[in-house]
Amino acid sequence: MVYNHRVLTIEQKRQFETEGYLVVKGLFTEEQLSEIDKTFEDISLQVIPGHFEPDLRQETNDPLKRYPRVMHPHRFNGTAKRYMLHQPVMDVLADLYEEEPLAAQSMFYYKPPGARGQALHQDNFYLKVEPGNCIAAWTAVDAADEENGGLLVVPKTSAYDIVCPDLSDSKESFTTHYVKPPKDQKAIPAVMERGDVLFFNGNLIHGSYRNKTKDRFRRSFICHYANSSATHIATHYRPLFRADGTPVELESNPDGGPCGVEYDTPYHH
């Protein structure tokens, strides 16, 4: 099956291929974003074992205890599943892969004021998509910038091999892994407006700053996808889904796991 419907320009496709990432503006309407807002506002008030386990008492000193990330909301919430399979996103992915994309994971980050970021890492270390690669679609539900803990990308590291991570600084990162950028390559901020989507390859080194603001959340809806010609993925991500919602089973890759292992306590080393 040849993809020639091309929602992306040649320049956009080239940017993804050379830099490893691409921001596509306005893939979600304000009406759709409002539905995402409401869905995750409702989720934030409850405990959903295995997916979202907040400490609902108010006296915690770590904002991420009250607002941890939501893992795989598509497995318990129809709206989250529908937006994981959002057609404008799937169309971009089909152009990037030049084949049908399969949805593997959904996550929602609230990133409240004061929350730590996530140290630099590579996604396919966790997803283990083979052959091929995962691609993330990172949707800004709030505007994201350097102040409120927006995403950092290290351009061109999409061509860099997956490496074994080092230990991160637990004061700045809520996850334990850290991948050092290659010499002479710097992480740069991906400044985004609400409704923009950042696509990036599974080898690209990326992470995020701490949210330094007092009053701004940095909410994001993040999904990962695999190419339909892949045969293996880490067990944590099965089953995958076609655009029409039908499940697809790939072989299980024994390694891999959730995107980033969290520190048990705020300053656990």
C-alpha angle 195-53-86 in degrees, rounded to nearest 5: 25
What DSSP assignment string belongs to 217-252?
A: ---EEEEEEEETT--EEEGGGPSEE-TTS-EEPPEE
Distance between CA atoms of residues 196 and 193, nearest Å: 6
Do 75 and 108 touch, CB atoms closer than 8 A?
no
Q: pLDDT tens digit string along 116-152?
A: 999 999 999 999 999 999 999 999 999 999 999 999 9
Contact partners, residue 146, CB within 8 Å, separation at least 6: 189, 191, 209
Is 193 a residue whose pLDDT tops 80? yes
Q: pLDDT tens digit string along 209-262?
A: 999 999 999 999 999 999 999 999 999 999 999 999 999 999 998 765 555 555
Q: Which of 69, 73, 84, 75 is nearest to 32 (CA)?
A: 84
Q: What percent of the chain has pLDDT over 70?
A: 91
Q: Which of 91, 103, 82 is nearest to 35 (CA)?
A: 82
State the first-to-last Cα distance of the chain, in angstroms, to the nearest integer: 50
Do 232 and 239 touch, CB atoms closer than 8 A?
no
Q: pLDDT tens digit string along 167-181?
A: 999 999 999 999 999
- Domains of the chain, first to last: 10-48+62-253 (2.60.120.620)
Query: Tokens 């496709």 correspond to what residue?
Result: 13
Is 59 a residue whose pLDDT tops 80? no
Tell the burial category of 112 from Cβ atoms under 10 Å away from its Cβ (0-12, 13-18, 19+): buried
Cis previous bond, 88, omega within 30: no
